[in-house]
Amino acid sequence: MIEAFYELFLSRYNYWMAIILMLIGLYALIAKQNLVKKLIGLNIFQTAIFLFYISIGEVEGGTAPIYLPEGVDALYVNPVPHVLMLTAIVVGVSVTAVALSLIVRIYEEYGVIDEDELMQAVRKR
């Protein structure tokens, strides 16, 4: 009983954390009415994916993937997911910048950032 619990939850806790964060982000994206809150939800969703990637690259007992001085023998974690996530973070920042500019223009044009009121304002114009 305890073994099943351990195998399902405790030994895979990194996957559970990533999935719970992803679902929180998706919930904010879908359920919140304010456009800026939707964008924050998108950021949480993307951050959860980054954490998932980094947790895959973990080597048990490994240290940060930066070369220690010559002669010191050490076990490093896998550096490839770290490098991939650098690129993905840049992509996330660019998307956030474009989305914020769009929100600024929507606000200037319609005067509302709430999703329901925005749909009404769009239909009226």
The site for other proteins (CB under 8 A) is made up of: 26, 29, 35, 38, 42, 45-46, 49, 52-53, 56, 66-67, 80-81, 84, 86-88, 90-91, 93-95, 97-111, 118, 122, 125
Q: Smallest distance from the beta carbon of 124 to other proteins, in angstroms?
A: 11
Tell the burial category of 18 from Cβ atoms under 10 Å away from its Cβ (0-12, 13-18, 19+). buried
Q: Smallest distance from the beta carbon of 112 to other proteins, in angstroms?
A: 8
- Identify which of residues 62 and 111 has a Cβ nearer to other proteins in the complex: 111
With a CB cutoff of 8 Å and minimum separation 6, the contacts of 44 are: 21, 24, 25, 28
- Identify which of residues 20 and 122 has a Cβ nearer to other proteins in the complex: 122
- Identify which of residues 75 and 118 has a Cβ nearer to other proteins in the complex: 118
Q: Smallest distance from the beta carbon of 81 to other proteins, in angstroms?
A: 8
- Identify which of residues 11 and 94 has a Cβ nearer to other proteins in the complex: 94
Q: Smallest distance from the beta carbon of 97 to other proteins, in angstroms?
A: 5
